[in-house]
Structures are given as structure tokens and as C-alpha cells.
Structure 1
């Protein structure tokens, strides 16, 4: 089958529910892919671009305000979901709140059986922050595949963006069996088909026949 056209209809994505903790998440069945990243890395914009919707994932003028795990279903009867994890690392919140966010994120990544992969969103100009590396560590412990989006690629000239991509790829060489990386721009709609292909692979190809 040609991979030029997505096999799942991401434009049919609809909000399902929000959960403050793993225990309040929807039933752990079907297949889902989670999106994570620092609050100012463009995660909501990436989700909106991938689903071709303007406001499926809420963008906030105060990064880090959302502390909930948000679930979106790919159609009413679909067992496939996209998950928007809380942004972290930028908001001016008490340290105790940050630690609580970390605990819920860690629980979700390690214990969620229906989770097939993690899309880690990084600003191409500021990749591999301490938080990014923490998430990669959790994913590594869980054996969870990660696809990195180097967002806001339109902010750099083509050569500089490609150089940033190669630098990140080089730094993550030890994890190359679990991690894949690409450039992405929500504004220019760059890299959308490549992400759809990866999501299709995780959500469909891993399903039992």
C-alpha cells in the first residue's frame, strides 16, 4: 500500500476527555500516541496542523498553564487516540507542582498499555533541553519508541535547519534504535506527511491481526 496518503483520517479527530492523573484516563484499550514537549515548543500548533484543525489542541498565552492529559479520538467509534500531555519546563509554577507533573507524566509513559509511541516536540533552535532528556530517559526505560519533531523549522534558513537536525541526530546516536527525528513547521505545513506515516505505523501496524 502506498504511504503517500495517510490510512487514518486525522482530520476527523475530536476531543474526548481530559484527565488529571493516570487513574482518571479513559479505558486502557485500543491504541494511542502521545505528544509531549516544553510548553513553548509548539506542541499544540503541531497537533492542530497534523489534524488540519485550528483549535483542536488549545494554545495558551501563558505556557504551561494546562496541567491535564487531553485525549482526542480519531472518529467517534475509533479505538485510535492522540494524547496531548501537559507542557512542562517553562511555566512559572511552584516546584512542588512541577514534581507532581513529572510524576503523572512518568506514570503515564511507563504504565499505559495502549500507548504505542511518543512524539517529542522540540523547538529546532533549542533542542534537547533537560526536560527533553528526562522524557527520553523515561521512554528508554519503558522501551517506548520516540519520534522527535524539531518544530519552528521556518525560523531558520534551510541549511541551518538541516545542520540542527544532524546535530540532534548525532547526539542521540546511542538511542537510534528507538528514536527517529525530522524537521517540522506548523506554519509552513512542513513534515506533516512524514508524521502521518509514523503515526499510521504505530497506531495500525502494531495492532494484532
Structure 2
């Protein structure tokens, strides 16, 4: 259940890269994932606001870092979606650089929520993000989104596949099933956010 009043979360700014964000900005929890993984839907669900995080009409079009204030000195960050096949290789590389640079440079980043469409498995860039978060000692939560499209048996199979893959290169990462549409697993995200925000 929510401890902080996430419904009062407000938009602060959109910037092209980490260098435009405030330096001393309290603490941040960032949401990252491939295009169409459901980041905007989840942020809107968590804050009970329909259009706080605006969905792009076309996948891969959102290229800005979006900063939202939960309460004073506690922020949520919506990072651009990556992995959309129809953008150029150059733009894809630039976008990946923006994402990795954000994780490397933001010393006030305490938590990273990585969203993965439950239909897929981890790709190489997903693994780079996870390894970088580990190296930076950033707490990580991995969410398998759109879980409502699978029955419970299939959900558990997918969950076990991701967990087994993770054990090959990282330990003790929390992986959860979620569906913003069916409200599956949303309380688990609130619980994690509350822990992160309370401890800093």
C-alpha cells in the first residue's frame, strides 16, 4: 500500500540528458525499459493520474528524461524507452548513451525499476543496465509487465526463466510480475518505493 501520497506527484521538467538535471536534487528513483514496456502506464497507475506520464503515439518517439516530484527532495524519473527497431542505428546508440550516462552520473539515484515485457527475455542492453546498477550499488527492481496477457502458470514460467538468467551474472535482484491494466503486483511496487524513499 502507498505510504507517501503518490497522487500528489507533479511534473517538474523534461530534459535531453543528465547534464540538464539539477545537481543537488534530493533522491531519485528511475523507471527504465524498452519502448512499449509500459513505463508510462505504470507511472500513471502509481500516481492515480491519467496523463502524468504521457504515452507517445509511436514507439521510440519519446527521447527526453522526465522528472516528477513526489514530495520535497524525493523524485521519480521516467527515462526514454529504448530498443525500438525502427529508429536509426545512430539514434539508438545515442539514446543508449543518454541512459547509461544518467545511471553513471546520478549519485542521488537510489533505485532503478527495469520494466520488461513479459513476452521477452533479457537482451544485451538490459544486462548492461543491470550490471551498471550493480556496479554503482543502485538498488534494482525488475518488473515483468503486461502479465494479464498470460495465465498464472505461464507467468510463473516466465518469472523463473528471468530469475534463472539473472543468476548467471548477478545475485539478489527482486523480480516481480505486474499488470497496470489488471492491478497485478502494483502494491509490490509501492512497497519497494516506500522502502527506498524512507531509507534516505
Please give the TM-score of this superposition, normalised by the length of structure 2. Answer: 0.94
1:176 corresponds to: 171
Deviation of 1:125 after TM superposition, in Å, equals: 1.1
Q: Which stretches of structure 1, 4 residues or longer, exceed 6 Å deviation after superposition? A: none
Classify 1:57/1:91 alpha carbon distance in 2 versus 1 (closer, same or farther; 3 Å).
farther
Equivalent residue pairs, number? 199
1:129 match: 123
User: Which sections of structure 2, spanning at least 5 residues, go unmatched?
Assistant: none
**1:43-62 paired onto structure 2 within 5 Å:** 43-62=39-58
Contact 2:31–2:113, Cα closer than 8 Å, also in 1: yes
Say if 2:152 is the partner of 1:158. yes
1:140 lines up with 2:134 in the alignment? yes
Aligned residue runs from structure 1 range 98-109, under 5 A? 98-109=92-103
**The one of 189, 195, 201 aligned to 2:189:** 195
Task: Assess if the C-alpha contact under 8 Å between 1:63 and 1:91 holds in 2.
Answer: no
CA RMSD of aligned residues (A): 1.3
**1:96 aligns to 2:94 (yes or no):** no
Asked if structure 1 preserves the Cα contact closer than 8 Å seen for 2:131 and 2:170, the reply is: no
Per the normalisation by structure 1, the TM-score is: 0.90
1:8 corresponds to 2:7: no
The answer to whether the 8 Å contact 1:39/1:91 transfers is no
